[in-house]
Structure 1
Amino acid sequence: MVPKGPYKLCTVNTAPDRAKRLVGRLVEDVKDTYTIVYVENCERVEDVKSMCERNKPDVLFCASMWTIEESEEIQRIAREIVPGVRTMAIPHGLQVEKGPDAVVEFLKERWPQLVER
């Protein structure tokens, strides 16, 4: 079976190294089914617009350090710049409360519904 994709992925995370590690685990775990190309991370809400303009991502993840309001704003900006972009906010506090494995599992569980709708 040929993997679906490629899907260009951007993240909004104040810890870019952690974002890269976690996305790397997701990419590795789903590579037989999906091709995910991790393009860029930005660390500030103010940078979401320019990141989306540069990369036109298919998917954008908001990290768990953002409040619900901040995540909603990030996703709104992304959709304004790239109509049809699929966005997902990792639940606030998930990384702190349950660790990186929980974040990777959360992403893996939701990836198919996110990209195949």
Structure 2
Amino acid sequence: MAAVTEEWHTPKGPYKLVTVNNAPERAEVVIGRVARDLADRYTIEYVGNCLGKDEVEATVAALKPDLLWADVPVMDQFCASMWTLEESDEMRATARRVVPHVVTHAIPFGLQVNNGPDAVVAHLKEAIPKLLG
């Protein structure tokens, strides 16, 4: 009889996450779902939110996150967005200036509004392994 071996994995992390979102309650709910769904692979700690680009530098300096996620346009595919392409570039550059190792990710503009929170959760669950390995 062949021996059955169980392979135990220790989740990677912990990764401290800060979001940039003008609806912080929604961001917290979505990130909570993602963190629970991926808990066997990653330990993600949601440590804070910035309501806008003017809060990024101070928040990143204070919390030293590993991850910064924002609801921003991707490839400027929409005319209007929560943040312009220039603002998203500025936020990511600011975060990297303060914490050089921070991993940034843009959630496609309109995903939440057009497809709901389940689509955002699915998007992040697909993106995280690509970002963190």
Shorter-chain TM-score bucket reads over 0.9
**CA offset at residue 109 of structure 1?**
0.1
The farther-off stretch of 69-78 and 28-37 is 69-78
Which amino acid in structure 1 is aligned with residue 11 of structure 2? P
Deviations 1:55-87 (A, max 9, x none): 110000012432322222211111111001100
Indicate the residue corresponding to 1:57 in structure 2. Answer: 65
Supply the distance in 2 between the matched residues of 1:92 and 1:69 (Cα, whole angstroms): 14
User: Relative to structure 1, is the Cα distance of residues 41 and 13 closer, same or farther in structure 2, using a 3 angstrom cutoff?
Assistant: same
Supply the distance in 1 between the matched residues of 2:85 and 2:37 (Cα, whole angstroms): 28
Conservation of the 8 A alpha-carbon contact between 1:68 and 1:92? no
Indicate the residue corresponding to 2:48 in structure 1. Answer: 40
Pick from 107, 114, 122 the counterpart of residue 97 of structure 1: 114
After TM superposition, the structure 1 = structure 2 runs for residues 7-86 of structure 1, keeping only pairs within 5 Å, are 7-64=15-72, 65-86=82-103
Bigger helix share: 1
Deviations 1:74-108 (A, max 9, x none): 11111111001100010111111111111111100
RMSD of Structure 2 on Structure 1 (CA): 1.0
Indicate the residue corresponding to 2:123 in structure 1. Answer: 106
Q: TM-score, normalised by structure 1?
A: 0.94
The farther-off stretch of 64-73 and 79-88 is 64-73
Q: Could you tell me which runs of 5 or more consecutive residues in structure 2 were left unpaired when the two chains were aligned.
A: 1-8, 73-81
Supply the distance in 2 between the matched residues of 1:66 and 1:114 (Cα, whole angstroms): 22
